[in-house]
Structure 1
Amino acid sequence: MAKSKVYAVIGLGTFGRKVCEVLSQKGGQVIALDEDPEAIDKIKSTVTAAILLDATDEGAIEKAPLDDVDVGIVAIGDDIEASILVTALLKKRGIPYILARAVSEIHQTVLRQVGANEVVNLEIDEGVRIALRLISPDVLDTIPLSKDYSFAEVQVPRVFFGQTVRNIQLREKFNLNIISIKHIIKDVDDVGNPVSREELILPDADAILTDGDILLVVGNNDSLGDLVKME
C-alpha cells in the first residue's frame, strides 16, 4: 500500500483551513501550523497534527516536525512579507515541493524567486475565469493554467454541427487542443418523461459533433475567444 503524502499547511484562514479539510478527507496526512490559538483549536480535530507557532521564526521552523513533509503549502494571504519569509524558510528547511498563495503578480514573482515551486493567485485566476465567461457566454467554465492559457468547456459552435473532429481542424486553425467531448443523449424514462444524460468521449478524429455537445479544450485565451465568436 502506497504511503500517504504528508502536507504542511501554514496559515489557517479560510483558504488554508479548506485546504486542510480537503487534504484530510482525501487521506493525506496534514500538519497545520498557525500562530493563532483559536485557529489551531478549530482545526485540530480535522488534521494529523495542529501546531501553534510563528512560522516566520526561523528557529521555530527548524524545530517543527517537518522532516517527513512532502508538500509545504503557504496559505498566508494578505501578509505578503510573512508569506515570502515563510516560503524562503521552508525552502531552507528542505521541503521538497512548496506551493504558495499570492495576492498580486509581483508577489507571485517574488515567491517563485525565494523557492516556491508553484504559486496560485486566486484573485487573478478567478478574475480571468469570470471575464471569459462574461465576454463569451458559450464558455461554460474555465480553469486558468497561467495568465494566458486555460482549460475551458465550450459549447460547440453551430457552424461545426454535423462535422467531424478532423474536419473542424481546431488545432490547425485555432491552436487549441480538444481533451474530451461531452455528448448529451436525450431519452425517455420508464414512464415516458424526457430525460437526458451525459456521455464523455475521447476526441476521436471521426467523432461527429452535434447540437448540445460541449468541448473541453486547452489553449490560449485569445484563441478561445476566437472560437466562441464563430456562429
Structure 2
Amino acid sequence: DTEMSVLDTLPSSRADFYRNLPWGREDYPGAEEGPHEADALKMAEELSVVRPQRRANSTDNAVIRESEFVGDAVDYVLRQLESVPGQKEHKLNRQARASFILMRSAAKKDGVDLVIIDADRSAQTAARNATARANSYATARFSSHILGLAIDFKLSHGSFKVPEVTTRPMSTVVDMRKSPVHKWLFVRGDKFGWYPYQHEPWHWEYNPPGFRERFWAGFKGGK
C-alpha cells in the first residue's frame, strides 16, 4: 500500500500530526531554519525509538570515529572495500557487502528491489561535499560512506516515484517514508545488520551489535 508510511509505526495521533503538517521547503534540519524544523527533529527522534539508529562513524556504537581514522587505520579500512556484484561501480566493506547481498536477495523474494545510488566515497569527496552544503544533518565531513559502511538507496520503486537523495522540500522527505524500499528496510534491515539514519530515508548503515570488534580483528595496531 503506497499510502502507508513508516510514520504509521508511531501512535496514530503522532503519525497524523506529521503527515498533515504544512511542511515548508526549509524545514529539513540544519540549514536555513523553517517554521517546522523542530517538528522534523522530533519526528526523527520518535522514529528512532521504533527503529534505533546505530551510526558507524559516531556515538557510542561507532565502528570507527574520525579521531581513529589516521595512519595505518586508513589503509586498513580501504583494503576492506570490495565491489558489489551487479553494481560493480560501488564498493562496500567486505562484511557489509556480504550482508547486503543476502539482504538484496531476501528483499527480491518479497518483491522489493534494493538498488544502490551511492556507497563508497573518498575522504576528499566527503570533505568537499560537507563544505559545499554546510549542513551536518545532511552531509558529514567524516562519513560512513568513507568506511564502506553506508548505502544511499534508490527509493522510487514501481509506481512509487520520488526525487532521489534530496532534503528539499521537507514534504518530499516525509513522502519518502512511503517508499516500498524504505518500508522494507525499516521492518527487516536490522535482521541483516543495517540501520537507518532517520533524517535521510535513503541512507542506511551497516553496524550490527559487536561489529566494531569483528571489524578491527585483523588490524595489527589494535583497537
Q: Quick check: TM above 0.5? A: no
Higher relative contact order (CA 8 A, sep 6+): 2
From the two aligned structures, give the one with the greater helix fraction: 2
The TM-score by the shorter chain falls in which range? under 0.3
Q: Which has the larger radius of gyration?
A: 1
> TM-score with structure 1 length normalisation?
0.25
